[in-house]
Amino acid sequence: MSKINLGIIGGGQLGSMLSMAAKKLNIKTTIYCNDSSAPAQNFCDEFIFGEYNDNQKILEFVDKVDIITYEFENIPYETLNGINKKKKVLPKPSINRLIQHRLAEKDFINKLNIRTTQYTLVQKKTDLDSLNDLLPGILKTTTMGYDGKGQYPIKSIKDIDSLNIDFSKEYILEKLIKLKKEISVIITRFGNNNYEIYEPIENTHENQILKYSKIPAEISKDIFDQSKNWAIRISEELKYIGTLCVEFFVDKNENLYVNEIAPRVHNSGHLTINAYNISQFENHVRAVCSLEKIPVKKLSNAKMVNLIGNQIQPYRQNIKLNDKEFFFDYLKKEIKDKRKMGHITTLI
């Protein structure tokens, strides 16, 4: 059989790592991205630059590949669904549509009787007047948010005027949780009750951007088991194919909440590259390309540090690493404030 050509929409670091994992499996990758300087073009076999509503360009991409996946969720549903009529898109476009909308996502999770923060839809400024119960809280755009973008912490109703919020957009207001910890669980589902799951990862954010991840997470046995069970239930309910990440909050009273779901490989799982026999990226490629599922085995505990903005500089200037340290440079052309530029994983 000729080599499989996997199409990937999105050309950031996650696309790069998917391409590297595919290469190891002798799978070709073609990336489609709306950023002409996308870093993943350094790692894929072929790169196509185009907008996500440029049907002509997208058709060119779809004709070249056998199957399509994506590395970020903010792709218009119409685009993914249109592609899916010609070649299979995994995870299914309907799953991405559900998860890219914070309200639909949280409603879905609650229907499974899985706890989330308390939340409500906010469509206009006056909606906030009656929402004192949800304060202090965080106002979040219902769509297109990532790395804390589109979020406004609100202590009291009088804060609203000074925040210059654009109410032509829709928001949800979420009650603030008194966080003890944040964890994530990554699972790769191949079919009915057929999945591989990684142990919970403990995450620390700075300014709403992930800074550190580590395994093992310092959590109780109950939280360990419950978080994995909830991730399994969510992926089964979605009939998900590929790698999915569930982000959780643990509050000061040891209650577990689902924060959000990422229908893709996830930054907190970078450490799976070095700490496991099969990374989240390889597992994603295996699942969407219908390859063999291999049981995951942890090889080592690990911690990962994201290098944000110019924190990458010293590492680019040849810092000495020992044999337990692995440095990844995403090869982004421009260093920008709050931009993830690379990471270091250390086996511990």
Which of 71, 199, 202, 260 is in the footprint of ligand ADP by CB under 6 A? 260
Least distance CB 148 / ligand ADP (angstroms): 5
Q: Site residues for ligand ADP, window 76-115 (CB under 6 A)? A: none
Span near ligand ADP by CB under 6 A; candidates 7-15, 23-31, 139-147, 289-297:
139-147
3-state SS of the chain is CCCCEEEEECCCHHHHHHHHHHHHCCCEEEEEECCCCCHHHHCCCEEEECCCCCHHHHHHHHHHCCEEEECCCCCCHHHHHHHHCCCCECCCHHHHHHHCCHHHHHHHHHHCCCCCCCEEEECCHHHHHHCHHHCCEEEEECCCCCCCCCEEEECCHHHHHHHCCCCCCCEEEEECCCEEEEEEEEEEEEECCEEEECCCEEEEEECCEEEEEEECCCCCHHHHHHHHHHHHHHHHHCCCCEEEEEEEEEECCCCEEEEEEECCCCHHHCCHHHHECCCHHHHHHHHHCCCCCCCCCECCCEEEEEEEHHHHHHHHCCCCCCCCEEEEECCCCCCCCCCEEEEEEEEC
Write phi, then psi, for 58 (nearest 5 degrees). Answer: -65, -40
Span near ligand ADP by CB under 6 A; candidates 1-9, 140-148, 193-201, 225-233:
140-148
Span near ligand ADP by CB under 6 A; candidates 170-178, 226-234, 274-282, 288-296:
170-178
User: Taking CB under 6 A as the rule, does residue 62 contact ligand ADP?
Assistant: no
User: Taking CB under 6 A as the rule, does residue 117 contact ligand ADP?
Assistant: yes
Q: Are strands 46-49 and 67-70 parallel, antiparallel or unpaired?
A: unpaired
- Of 163 and 179, which has the nearer Cβ to ligand ADP? 179
Which of 135, 148, 232, 329 is in the footprint of ligand ADP by CB under 6 A? 148
Strand-by-strand arrangement of the 137-141 sheet: 119-122, 171-175, 137-141, 151-154
- Of 208 and 311, which has the nearer Cβ to ligand ADP? 208
Which of 20, 247, 284, 332 is in the footprint of ligand ADP by CB under 6 A? 247
Least distance CB 2 / ligand ADP (angstroms): 39
Q: Site residues for ligand ADP, window 224-243 (CB under 6 A)? A: none
- Of 6 and 177, which has the nearer Cβ to ligand ADP? 177
User: Taking CB under 6 A as the rule, does residue 121 contact ligand ADP?
Assistant: no
Q: Are strands 325-329 and 256-262 parallel, antiparallel or unpaired?
A: unpaired
User: Taking CB under 6 A as the rule, does residue 146 contact ligand ADP?
Assistant: yes
Least distance CB 247 / ligand ADP (angstroms): 6
User: Taking CB under 6 A as the rule, does residue 144 contact ligand ADP?
Assistant: no
Least distance CB 195 / ligand ADP (angstroms): 23
- Of 117 and 226, which has the nearer Cβ to ligand ADP? 117
- Of 262 and 273, which has the nearer Cβ to ligand ADP? 262
User: Taking CB under 6 A as the rule, does residue 188 contact ligand ADP?
Assistant: no
- Of 142 and 346, which has the nearer Cβ to ligand ADP? 142
Write phi, then psi, for 339 (nearest 5 degrees). Answer: -100, 135
User: Taking CB under 6 A as the rule, does residue 306 contact ligand ADP?
Assistant: no
The residue number whose beta carbon is nearest to ligand ADP equals 177
Contacting positions for ligand ADP (CB under 6 A): 117, 138, 145-148, 174, 176-177, 179, 182, 205, 208, 247, 259-260
